[in-house]
């Protein structure tokens, strides 16, 4: 296992749709090694999600996990590996919340997301997955799914006036009532 470099905005792979992983390749040594490296790299970066394009791999794979966050009423989100995902928004009004990204270091912004999504795809061993994600988990899934489609959170922002450097976010905005800490995904 290795901690991989996370590419930053400007790298062409962040703007390129990722390729589907053939089901018969999922259990291969190379795909399993990539999954292990994604998990280790995400944890090392203290993020809550990471996609293959962020580590210079153009395949449709992302991982996510939230182990501790005192600002989350729903508690931890277990480690998930999602391959070749499709998501379907569930009914509900868009929710604005703060996001950051390991590929856009040092910036946070208010991003509208669906409050819940249905996720279909494949798991680490090629098994079918089909579940509903809500709250922070839904936000993470949508953020990482966007990476697989060449989209970054800045593209989703409706008003760039909320864009802030992390230090200023912590100093001036994070303490405001109703504002949660932005997760770096």
Give phi and psi for 159, each to the nearest 5: -145, 110
56 is catalytic: no
Report how far residue 53's alpha carbon sits from residue 60's, in angstroms, rounded to the nearest whole number.
Answer: 8
pLDDT below 50 — which residues of the chain? 177-182
Check residue 171 and give its pLDDT: 79
**What pLDDT is recorded for position 75?**
76
Instruction: Write the DSSP string, 29-64.
Output: HHHHHHHHHHHHHHHHTT-SEEEGGGGT--BSEEEE
User: Domain coordinates of the chain in residue numbers?
Assistant: 12-184
**CATH code reported for the domain at 12-184:** 3.90.45.10
Q: Annotated catalytic residue: which of 144, 168, 170, 176?
A: 144
Which pLDDT score is estimated for 180? Answer: 47
SS (H, E, C) 72-102: CCCCCEEEEEEEEEEEEECCCCCEEEEEEEC
Q: Quick check: 85 and 119 in contact, CB under 8 A?
A: yes
What pLDDT is stored for residue 10 in this prediction?
A: 96
At 2, list the tokens: 């290795």
- pLDDT given at position 157: 96
What is the model's pLDDT at position 68? 75
Q: In this predicted structure, what is the pLDDT of residue 167?
A: 85
């Amino acid at each position: 296992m290795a901690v991989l470099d996370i590419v930053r905005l400007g790298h062409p792979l962040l703007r390129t749709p990722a390729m589907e992983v053939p089901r018969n390749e999922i259990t291969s040594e190379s795909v399993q090694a990539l999954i292990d490296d994604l998990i280790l790299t995400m944890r090392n970066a203290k993020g809550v999600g990471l996609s293959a394009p962020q580590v210079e791999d153009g395949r449709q794979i992302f991982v996510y996990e939230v182990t501790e966050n005192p600002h989350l009423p729903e508690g931890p989100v277990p480690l998930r590996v999602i391959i070749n995902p499709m998501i379907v928004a569930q009914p509900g009004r868009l929710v604005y919340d703060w996001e950051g990204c390991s590929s856009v270091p040092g910036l946070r912004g208010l991003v509208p997301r669906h409050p819940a999504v249905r996720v279909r795809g494949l798991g680490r061993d090629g098994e079918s997955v089909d579940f509903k994600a809500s709250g922070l988990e839904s936000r993470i899934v949508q953020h990482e799914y966007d990476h697989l489609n060449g989209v970054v959170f800045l593209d989703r922002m409706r008003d760039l006036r909320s864009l802030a450097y992390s230090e200023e976010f912590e100093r001036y905005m994070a303490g405001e009532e109703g504002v949660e800490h932005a997760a770096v995904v």
